[in-house]
Amino acid sequence: MRVLQAIFAFALLLGLIAGIAVAMRYSTNIAIAVPIIALGLAFALQKYVASFFGYFHILISRIYRPGDRIRIGSIKGDVRWVGLIHTTLEEVGEDEKLGGELTGRILHVPNLIILDQPVLNYSKDYSVHHKRIASDYMFAEVRIPITVESDVEKATGLLEAILRSEDELYLAEARAMFQDGYPEFLDEAMSGPRVLIHVEPQCIWIKGKFVAPVRQRNQLKSRVLMQFLEQAKASSDVKIS
């Protein structure tokens, strides 16, 4: 559908140019006025034209697609739609390495921005031994607030066990895809701490990291949260804040 829209818009542009050329040939007055009008239109529409060609660059290079988590310059978010002029993102917070959680705000970013801004795609295209490997696996995270009176060691142990159980299959699939020379997020998943804590005056946040395909991370996150809530409910030492 998007390709048909692009073809239609491009054909419309060519038709407009052809109409102007014919008018200039048969009318002297129009021949004088048209270049001035065309110059004004070119100046007024230059950003739209750049965004239009930016769309084709996104489409052909596959620099990102719906579902990917990306950063363009200082903007970070999950791609929801790639249009002829704008890319629609769900904004992601900046407080963590991966970008924290969704803020709930929608961003409409003109496609022209990719022509002069670096694009970082968190969801694919890793480099292993100077070889580019496309992968939809990524590190995602889940945050849970517990009371300051809770047994933090027990809470982190519960979350750690749930995470390792839930993403075991995805982790094995990602390891098989890369075979060796794992990217940083896989090294961290296999050997680094999976659960970290952050202390605030009113509560303690425990944050767990897990490996998941980009388009399934939210479902896995929900399963992890449900299991933790069930186990915390059965424990007198862990209370949700």
Q: Which of 71, 91, 121 is the last residue of a domain?
A: 121
Residue 74 maps to a domain: yes
CATH assignment at residue 108 = 2.30.30.60
pLDDT of residue 18: 63
Q: How many domains does the chain have?
A: 3
Q: Per-residue confidence at 227, pLDDT binned at 50, 70, 90?
A: very high
Do residue 72 and residue 146 come from a single domain?
A: no
Do residue 149 and residue 196 come from a single domain?
A: yes
Residue 55 maps to a domain: no
For 128-145, write each residue's pLDDT tens digit. Answer: 555 566 667 777 788 899
Residue 128 maps to a domain: no
pLDDT of residue 1: 46
CATH assignment at residue 149 = 3.30.70.100
Average pLDDT of every residue of the chain: 76
pLDDT of residue 77: 85
Highest-scoring range by mean pLDDT, 14-18, 94-98, 135-139, 226-230:
226-230
Residue 56 maps to a domain: no
Residue 238 maps to a domain: no
pLDDT beyond 70 at 189: yes
Do residue 97 and residue 75 come from a single domain?
A: yes
pLDDT beyond 50 at 164: yes
Do residue 107 and residue 145 come from a single domain?
A: no
> What are the tokens at 150?
């809770």
* Contacts of the segment 70-74: beta carbons below 8 A, 24+ positions apart: 70/119, 70/120, 70/121, 70/122, 70/123, 71/99, 71/119, 71/120, 71/122, 72/109, 72/113, 72/114, 72/117, 72/118, 72/119, 72/120, 73/113, 73/117, 73/118
Residue-range definition of the domain harbouring residue 181 = 133-233
Residue 197 maps to a domain: yes
pLDDT of residue 94: 63
Do residue 142 and residue 193 come from a single domain?
A: yes
Which residues, in sequence order, are CB contacts of 233 under 8 Å at separation 6+? Answer: none
Q: What does the chain look like in DSSP terms, one character per residue?
A: -HHHHHHHHHHHHHHHHHHHHHHHHH-HHHHHHHHHHHHHHHHHTHHHHHHHHHHHHHHHHT---TT-EEEETTEEEEEEEE-SSEEEEEEE-SSSSS--SEEEEEEEEEGGGGGTS-EEETTS-EEETTEEE---EEEEEEEEEE-TTS-HHHHHHHHHHHHHHHSHHHHHHHHHHH-SS--HHHHHHHHS-SEEEEE-SS-EEEEEEEEEEGGGHHHHHHHHHHHHHHHHHT-SS--B-
Judge whether 91 and 115 are in contact, CB under 8 Å.
Answer: no
Do residue 178 and residue 205 come from a single domain?
A: yes
Residue 51 maps to a domain: no
pLDDT beyond 70 at 148: yes
pTM of the model: 0.55
> What are the tokens at 79?
């791609």
pLDDT of residue 20: 60
Mean pLDDT over 40-61 rounds to 73
Do residue 112 and residue 146 come from a single domain?
A: no
Residue 167 maps to a domain: yes
Percentage of the chain modeled with pLDDT above 70:
67
